[in-house]
Structure 1
Amino acid sequence: MYKILITLILSLSTMTLYAQNYSIVVDESEVIIDGTSNVHDWESKAEQFSGTATIEIEDDSLISSISALEFNVVVDGIKSGKGGMDNKTYDALNKKKHPNINFVLSEVTNISANTLTANGELTISGVTKTIQMEVEYEILPDGSVLFKGTQPITMTDYDVDPPKAMFGAIKAGADVEVIFDAKFAQ
Structure 2
Amino acid sequence: MKIILTSLLVFALTIDQWQFKADPAKSTLVVQGTSSVHDWESVAEVFSVTGTMNDTEVTNLDVSVSVKSIKSGKSIMDDKTYEALKADKHPKIYFKAETLKVVNGHVKGDGTLTIAGKSKRITIDAASQSTTGGYKISGVVTLKMSEYGVTPPTAMFGTMQTGDQVTIQYQFLLIK
In the superposition, the TM-score normalised over structure 1's length comes to 0.85
Pick from 76, 83, 95 the counterpart of residue 87 of structure 2: 95
Say yes or no: does 1:174 pair with 2:164.
yes
Unaligned runs of 5+ in 1: 1-15, 57-62
Report matched runs for 1:65-144 at 5 Å.
65-108=57-100, 110-142=101-133, 144=134
TM-superposed CA distance for 1:17, in Å, is 5.8
SS of alignment partner, residue 53 of structure 1: strand
Q: Bigger radius of gyration, 1 or 2?
A: 1
SS of alignment partner, residue 173 of structure 1: strand
Q: In structure 1, how many angstroms separate the alpha carbons of the residues matched to 2:102 and 2:135?
A: 14
Unaligned runs of 5+ in 2: 1-13
Instruction: Quote the residue 2:38 is aligned against.
Output: 40
Q: In structure 2, how many angstroms separate the alpha carbons of the residues matched to 1:72 and 1:153?
A: 17
TM-superposed CA distance for 1:107, in Å, is 2.9
SS of alignment partner, residue 56 of structure 2: strand
Q: In structure 2, how many angstroms separate the alpha carbons of the residues matched to 1:49 and 1:119?
A: 20
Instruction: Quote the residue 2:146 is aligned against.
Output: 156
Say yes or no: does 1:23 pair with 2:13.
no
CA contact 2:139–2:171 (8 Å) conserved in 1: yes
Instruction: Quote the residue 2:49 is aligned against.
Output: 51
Question: What amino acid does structure 2 have at the position aligned with 1:182?
Answer: F
Instruction: Quote the residue 1:60 is aligned against.
Output: none
Q: How well do the aligned residues superpose, as a CA RMSD in angstroms?
A: 1.3
Q: In structure 1, how many angstroms separate the alpha carbons of the residues matched to 2:132 and 2:145?
A: 38
Q: How much identity, in percent, do the aligned residues show?
A: 34
Q: In structure 2, how many angstroms separate the alpha carbons of the residues matched to 1:158 and 1:107?
A: 23
In the superposition, the TM-score normalised over structure 2's length comes to 0.89
Count how many residue pairs are aligned between Structure 1 and Structure 2: 163
SS of alignment partner, residue 167 of structure 1: helix
